[in-house]
Structure 1
Amino acid sequence: MRWVALMPLRGGSKAIPHKNIRRLAGRPLFAWSLEQALLSECFDELFVASDSEKIRRCVTAEFGDRVTVMDRSPDNCTDQASTESVMLEFRERVPADVLCVIQATSPLTRDADFRMAKEKFLSEQLDSLLTAAEFRRFLWSRAGLALNYDPANRPRRQEFDGALVENGAFYFTRDAILKQHRNRLGGRIGIHVMDPETLVEVDNAEDWAVVEQLLRRRDWPAQWLARKRLRAFVVDVDGTLTDGGMYYAANGEAMKKFDTRDAHGLARLREHGIRVCVISRENSPAVAARMIKLGIGDYFPGVLDKRAFLQEKFESWGMKFNEIAYMGDDLPDLDCMADAGVSFSPGDAVPEILAAADYVSSRMGGAGAVREVADLIVASQLHAGVADHD
């Protein structure tokens, strides 16, 4: 049986411009649930269909050949177009026994949700499946009628079963059902129940703020980084460890502003066995003095070709580029970020860097961005240690 997953992504979004590729908690919106679908190992192939060349490039940059990107008919990208119209167009192009449609607006979906839903689908011999979450609230119609309980016998909250609300995270549909009913649901229908928090879909700015906080509370970044097995952290200076500003004393000496939180973050990395390397195109006495104070011996100023310099340095250390994390904010950092095992940027980096970074800090350069990233890497080391122990 061939299982195929499809994520439809439109280029137009009125409530939140460029919503599908806008960064949510450090990653493009679409990447959250798509990554979990890949991790679930439930599907023979995963596709993204979009009318936007920018979205297609972004998906390819994020997932490479792990996800197949294809065009989407303009007729199926209007405000009136249904998800079914995309599914029907897709089935004419890609054969599948079961099609899973994944919604990018449900970034709280976990890999376990796909696995449990597939197990339910197969064990119960279902024809289609939807996802839902429990809703333990009393519902009323606008006409003043109770819809899901008897007001004369009002149950206590802990005794109230409530209802299941469709959350739209993903759907499973057998091809025969889609062909016959031209609908994602039909035949024997099952429901996979997800966490209550997954009722929140990203449709407006308020949803965005709520979901971003929920994602940042999860340990996703630590799990993701733990798989990288990082050995070193390389960070740029101007615009990353500093705010990029140049301050001059009366004698003409240039000064830099550093954040003490970043210094503590670098110290934590070293305490957990991560080698810290600081690199810069500039040769600043102020930065050199700061590195001495922090006890960072791997400080390399005046490096114009960072990629070539680091390649030689890593070879002498017995490391590979994909074993290091790199954090930068401007165009000279692009080559290093492309080859690094994982790349980071402060929140105010130039657009090209923001697009290339695997994770964008919620903080600005010189204002705790490095500390945020350092804490994530340390958490990943602890997570990896627990996994190895288990």
Structure 2
Amino acid sequence: MRAVNVNLAHKTILVTGAAGFIGSNLVLELLRSVSDVKIVGLDNVNDYYDVSLKEYRLEQIAKAAANTDAAWTFIKGNLADSALIKQIFTQYKPAVVVNLAAQAGVRYSITNPDAYIESNLIGFYNILEACRHSYDGGQIGVEHLVYASSSSVYGSNKKVPYAVEDKVDNPVSLYAATKKSNELLAHAYSKLYNIPSTGLRFFTVYGPAGRPDMAYFGFTDKLRAGKTIEIFNYGNCQRDFTYVDDIVKGIMLVMQSAPEKQKGEDGLPLPPYAVYNIGNNHPENLLDFVDILQQELIVAGVLPKDYDFAAHTKLVPMQPGDVPVTYADTTPLEQDFGFKPNTSLREGLRAFACWYKEFYKI
């Protein structure tokens, strides 16, 4: 088990991507469970998907913060704005940084590559530089940098389940390449400047108030509108669906256990660097996933009991940038933190369906 060496209480925590799906849920959990915490949230609230969802998440955070002893500060700004990032670090001096801001989506990276270079590369570089200079003048600086990677880094790997020790040199999308680049950059900065950093490879995160570009959300929108949903690779895809609460629990545990700073035989620092998979360790067939989603949408009252799903389903070939299987080996996570995601797909989709009905006032 990894030692708990970062006390979050009474600390300042910077969460980038705070209006995003995972970021907002992390902020809510920090507000609920950490005493006297000071949270600085950064997000550019872009229109990659429905902005009202991001505004809803920020409203939920504001309500939660009003009922705690925590301090919540939201800054609307761009991660690629180096002057802004320097200002945030100078003014708030975060002890822990959780970088969840990124341009997401595999297919979008094919048509809008500039957004990925700006946010995922330049933006992450700005965070690393700010962490580096947080130690200037003998300051304590950043105790732990935790950042989002992705299961996409495994690319065209044939071996499953995917293990963090596997080579990840074959990305099949620009998005995946930027996430692998984040891991390489973090390793270099950990080595050069002794910055404790941990990357987390997330596997298909889902849940209430999620991203509309994800399959479960997009399918629901289309079915409600009477449109046809397309199931890629003729349904022969498997995904390691991970419920957002499990992701947040994993992040919380990791935040409190930074890789130890130590020196090698040459007297130089060994990089205080780690990477973990956070996945359900149980890939689901896409057709089974769609079947469970349909059932839960009916139970929740989002769709009528007599809905003709067959008439609104079409099997299509694989899309560019996609992979047929994602499957996480979570052994290191279990060994170091005694934690393994365990929310069932049915339980998670039921929570989503109930939220969807309430949010869209069906």
Normalised TM-score (structure 1)? 0.29
Normalised TM-score (structure 2)? 0.30
The structure whose Rg is larger is 1
